[in-house]
Structure 1
């Protein structure tokens, strides 16, 4: 039942691919790509951005769970009229939008149950409690 060496399938192992990958990593970009890049016009003036037009902007905070909870909390407070508008006047109350953000945080709480650190869990539960208390304290009809 053993096959003779003549009948065994030959297996070829390509060991050269590793050295080829190394050569490609060390080789400069293709000459054709360099030619295309050199024929394109080069801007001498920096492109104006919002930062250069309106002055220096602060960098956004690092992405994280606390930042997400804070953003949703801020949006809910704004929808409840607790944050003044840019003109300094009280914000417009829109309880249905506030309810949306509260429900979003509640959904986040349900979906992340058991996967949060104790600090994150406490932050989320306290934020939800505060948002719900602010919601029921507003005496405006739901839109």
Structure 2
């Protein structure tokens, strides 16, 4: 019974860096610049005192599809980044977003109403045409 009442201590002897002794933990790297940039971006995105943010749209299938389509248009360079105001082209990300919409179309086939089906198929057609055109540039 005496031995069962005693606790035990576990010491972690793994090395987290080559030149640090086993008992020391590697100090986490702190880079003040990304922290400051994150803080600045967060404060820029927050509404100023007295400003009202417009209400967010209702979340439904159509707004979700529009959100993904907007992301694809941003990556195709058709829309400017709202934070920087600059456009940039990133075809792999645009393709991934278009493929996600295609997967949604396949997985929801037969479960959407006519309006949602038409919205998704028309958006996919337009995005695919824009992707092909962007690939030729």
TM (norm. structure 1) is: 0.58
State the Cα distance separating 1:138 from its structure 2 match. 0.7
Candidates 52, 57, 61, aligned match of 2:53: 57
Partner of 2:113: 117
SS at structure 1 position matched to 2:89? coil
User: What is the number of equivalent residue pairs in this alignment?
Assistant: 92
CA distance in 1, matches of 2:48, 2:80: 27
Partner of 1:133: 129
TM (norm. structure 2) is: 0.61
User: Which has the larger Rg?
Assistant: 1
1:38-77, Cα deviation, whole Å (9 max, x unpaired): xxxxxxxxxxxx3454721111100111101100010000
Partner of 1:99: 95
Alignment of 1:30-49 (within 5 A): none
State the Cα distance separating 1:123 from its structure 2 match. 0.5
Q: Which runs of 5+ in 2 are unaligned?
A: 1-45
Partner of 2:4: none
1:70-123, Cα deviation, whole Å (9 max, x unpaired): 00010000001101234544x110000000110000010011000000111010
Alignment of 1:7-86 (within 5 A): 50-51=46-47, 53=49, 55-86=51-82
Per the alignment, do residues 52 and 101 of structure 1 end up closer, same or farther by CA in structure 2, a change over 3 Å counting? same
Q: Which runs of 5+ in 1 are unaligned?
A: 1-49
**Contact 1:80/1:98, CA 8 A, preserved across alignment:** yes
1:18-44, Cα deviation, whole Å (9 max, x unpaired): xxxxxxxxxxxxxxxxxxxxxxxxxxx
